[in-house]
A and B are shown apart, each in its own frame.
Chain A
Amino acid sequence: MSDDIASFRLCMTGVRKQFGATRALSDVDLRVGPGEVHALIGENGAGKSTLMKVLSGAVAPDSGSMHIDGVPFAPRRPEDARACGVAMIYQELTLAPHLTVEENVTLGLEETFCGFLRRRTMRRRVVAALEQLGHSDIRPGVRVRDLSIGAQQLVEVARALVSQARIVVMDEPTSSLTREDTVTLFELIRRLRDRGVSIIYISHFLEEVREIADRFTVLRDGVVTGTGSVADTPTERIIELMVGRRLSEMFPRVPREPGEPVLELHGLCGPGMPRNVNLSLRRGEILGLFGLIGAGRSELVRTVFGLRPTMAGTITIAPPGRPAIIDSGATPVRRLAQGVGMLSESRKDEGLALPMSVADNITLSRLGTVSRAGVLNLRRQREAARQWIDRLEIRTQGPAQAVWNLSGGNQQKVAIARLLHQSADILLLDEPTRGIDVGAKIQIYRLMGELAAAGKAILFVSSYLPELMGVCDRIGVMSRGRLADLRDVSRWTEREIMTTAVGGDA
């Protein structure tokens, strides 16, 4: 057994952690070899982050043991883990934007002499690290906020390198990267691996896992459901391990018949993006919009909703039962009145007023229904909210609860309830399933299906291909601001969609 432990870079055995009544981790084992890229896979809430917090010393496990290179490892604080060579690279970039590359790389690792910085020594180490990563073109004196996101990620990796990391944990590192930057990052990961550094790569993009990882471990509800070599395991099997059910149960289908067009875009151009987009959305239809980050999907949706100016082209809106109007440069206020509703991709920053109550959030865009002469009728507001809480099965203590106490999935349902409360017929949903657990995702898929069957038109923006394939009637693919192609879902394959999205010929 001890031989076994010593042969691995990291050995986590029987790790358990309980938060109150919920068991976040139960007897989790994780073994990572030296110079191995190990993918840690699982839905949100499966326990990946908790496990990594245990590794990084931010959370103390209830029981279980850890060894690094055969030496027992029990960090009490993040500093301890860093000292033992565990470096974390988080989903959100954790750089100080005003500081230079050099200052960021050495942050917290400064060498000082009587309190004064030894700038020359530090610069040498930073330059050496950048060279090892094959990017001596990045100048240590440049401020980090002037760099592209890809280059910023590189700075984070350089930081790990300078801190002499033996294990680098990357938590969804590509979630904010373009394809090119992802390629750069993978190149870096391979370089780190070749230097004998072990990498724990957290992701739920299985395509990426297949591209970069050697082995994988799947977590579900705090339990390891499978581990093995990526090359020997088919993707379908990994998904089943993740989800714990068959794929057909994920995407319940409600029969529906698309009707007449309600939203038509002709040659729509915004500032920079979108570029010359033609599109027609019919009632009773779910139209998916796929694209890489930066392809202009959100920009398109925001232009339609009037949050960005229209530079050229027309937007025609024909809500059911009303005559069509060409109204290209409208404001969100007019769009709301025309029956268009938008769900923002950033639920926390823009989509919801987190400190306000569920009732306030649901009724915010149409307070007129629950007020008279500008005076709110709180009872009516509560009742209206309660009605949506029941309809959408929002799990909350009541309409008065503040939204930030809800889980991500329930927050998203509140945001959707607002669109329904304002009785929108055209729903622009920008990443409605981002950051919510799988159960809530299935509920939202079902809800979208029901809404479409009831005659609403839904534009569904997502960067998660399987859900688009499962839910939509038609899928459009955007690339560099243009709508590159639009087909019925039956006439697409995942590979074709990806090649179209990266700008190749499908």
Chain B
Amino acid sequence: MTTMLPVHETASLGDRSRIRRLLNMVGPLLALIGIVLGFGLVYQLQAGLDAHAYAVEKAQRQEKLGLPVEPVHDKWHYICNQKNRFLTVDTFRATANQTVTVGIAAMGMTMIIIGGGIDLSVGSVIALASVATAWCLKSGWTPLSAAGAGVLVGSVCGLLNALMITRLKVVPFIATLGMWGIARGLAKGIASEQKIDAPAGWLGDSVLVRHPDPAWLLVSPGVWTMLLLAVAVWALLRYTALGRYIFAIGSNEATARLCGIRVERVKLYLYSIAGLTTGLAGVMQFCRLTVGDPTTAMGTELDVIAAVVIGGGSLAGGEGSVFGSLVGALIMAFLRTGCTQVGVPTWIQEMIIGAVIVLAVALDHVRRRSTAG
């Protein structure tokens, strides 16, 4: 008897899965570029049409007053000769700055979602970390140590999440829902239900500024922090044993256990590291607001989860990419700035963002089914 494994099938599948992974990477990026260009186009049209209407009106007025009339060109002339104030470096810088909080928190969430978990406490922990940073500054700590304290608070929350999940055997959804309440309450308690005004020092002056100093940085130090963190998390997931264990647990926890992986310990690391990124996101939130506001980042956890999911993460675990999540966070931020610039009311913005989330996941599903065959 000869071996009859379908050799060709596996070989071609190898290529197909490589193409698929490439698509996974490129898909969200294309969507982002499309969204940015789309808003740019809408902005251009709008500005051109406004200019045309103004010119017509001006001509009418001049005619009525018997003044020499300036010739009115056709609409295309105005649309083409209008300066676009959306597609500018400044817009990108501002949007990137707005992405930082969600983007940094999304790094931790990416790991958790790949590991088959979920973290609903992100918004509250961001608030707690930012309040803690403000409190430390107010007590006279240096900015650096205050920021460190904020990060530490975040990772302690993550560790507590992990302990609830591994020791008390509470599912991540419930455990982190508990932390959602605990951290928010604690933040309000520390701040006595008020905003903490604190001397922000360089945390407020230089981290999330529109024009970084020195200028060769191009984007603010906060954005650089996000990018460096992304590289670090990517390397952790790809090149370390811990990263591989996270994937294995999310893909099939029973298998991971069977293969001698200490699942509980990995989860402890996983949630602590994710908490650390959430703490860092909290510090960034403080840098943006320059006050410690215990009611900030309400519902941010959903933005963060949406960013990860738009970027290809699967809530069933085992799938997700750092790069995708980052692009997902940028997509959300650009939708917001774009809508604001074009003048779409907030309530429509929210509907658009909701629809985009569903659409992204549905498209992902269709694509997966068409390539799975």
Contacts and interface: CB of A to CB of B under 8 A. Distances in A.
Contacts of B260: 78-79, 82, 108
Contacts of B6: 148, 151
A368 B260 CA distance: 51
B244 A110 contact: yes
Contacts of A447: none
Contacts of A112: 240-241
A107 B5 contact: no
A273 B259 CA distance: 37
B232 interface: no
Interface stretch (A138-146, A254-262, A307-315): A138-146
A206 interface: no
A174 to B, nearest CB: 14
A78 B259 CA distance: 9
B318 interface: yes
Interface in A76-129: 78-79, 82, 88, 90, 94-99, 103, 107-110, 112, 115-117, 119
A151 B318 contact: no
Given A151-B10, A187-B3, A108 B250 contact: no
Nearest to B257: A78
A45 B248 CA distance: 31
Contact of A180 (B4, B10, B248): B4
B319 interface: yes
Given A183-B1, A184-B5, A141 B10 contact: no
B11 A139 contact: yes
Interface in B231-286: 239-242, 244, 247-248, 250-252, 254-256, 258-261
B74 interface: no
Given A137-B7, A138-B10, A142-B17, A96 B258 contact: no
Contact of A116 (B18, B239, B319): B239
Interface string B7-24: 101110110111000000
Please indicate which of the listed interface residues B7, B17, B18, B254 has the most CB atoms of chain A within 10 Å of its own CB.
B17
Given A78-B258, A98-B319, A183-B4, A146 B13 contact: yes
A117 B239 contact: yes
A115 B242 contact: yes
Nearest to A140: B14
A108 B244 CA distance: 9
B240 A99 contact: no
A378 interface: no
A283 B240 CA distance: 64
Contact of A154 (B5, B248, B319): B5
B3 A142 contact: no
A79 B240 CA distance: 21
- Majority secondary structure of chain B interface residues (helix, strand, loop or mixed): helix
B53 to A, nearest CB: 55
Interface string A179-193: 011011011000000
Contacts of A187: 1, 3
B247 A98 contact: yes
Please indicate which of the listed interface residues B18, B239, B244 has the most CB atoms of chain A within 10 Å of its own CB.
B244
A134 B14 CA distance: 18
Given A146-B13, A148-B9, A187-B3, A94 B244 contact: no
Given A139-B11, A147-B10, A96 B17 contact: no
Contacts of A97: 251-252, 318
Contacts of B251: 96-99
A446 interface: no
Contacts of B248: 96, 99, 103, 107
B256 A96 contact: yes
A96 B239 contact: no
Nearest to A179: B4
A283 B250 CA distance: 50
A332 interface: no
Given A78-B258, A94-B255, A107-B256, A184 B247 contact: no
Contacts of B244: 99, 103, 107, 110, 117
A110 B5 contact: no
Contacts of A146: 13, 16-17
A108 B348 CA distance: 50
B240 A117 contact: yes
B241 A117 contact: yes
19 contacts: A82-B260, A96-B252, A96-B256, A98-B319, A107-B244, A108-B256, A108-B259, A109-B259, A116-B241, A117-B244, A137-B5, A139-B11, A139-B14, A142-B13, A146-B16, A148-B6, A151-B6, A151-B10, A181-B5
Interface of B: 1, 3-7, 9-11, 13-14, 16-18, 239-242, 244, 247-248, 250-252, 254-256, 258-261, 317-319
Query: What are the nearest 8 A-B pairs in CB distance?
Result: A108-B259, A98-B318, A96-B251, A98-B251, A108-B260, A139-B14, A94-B255, A107-B259
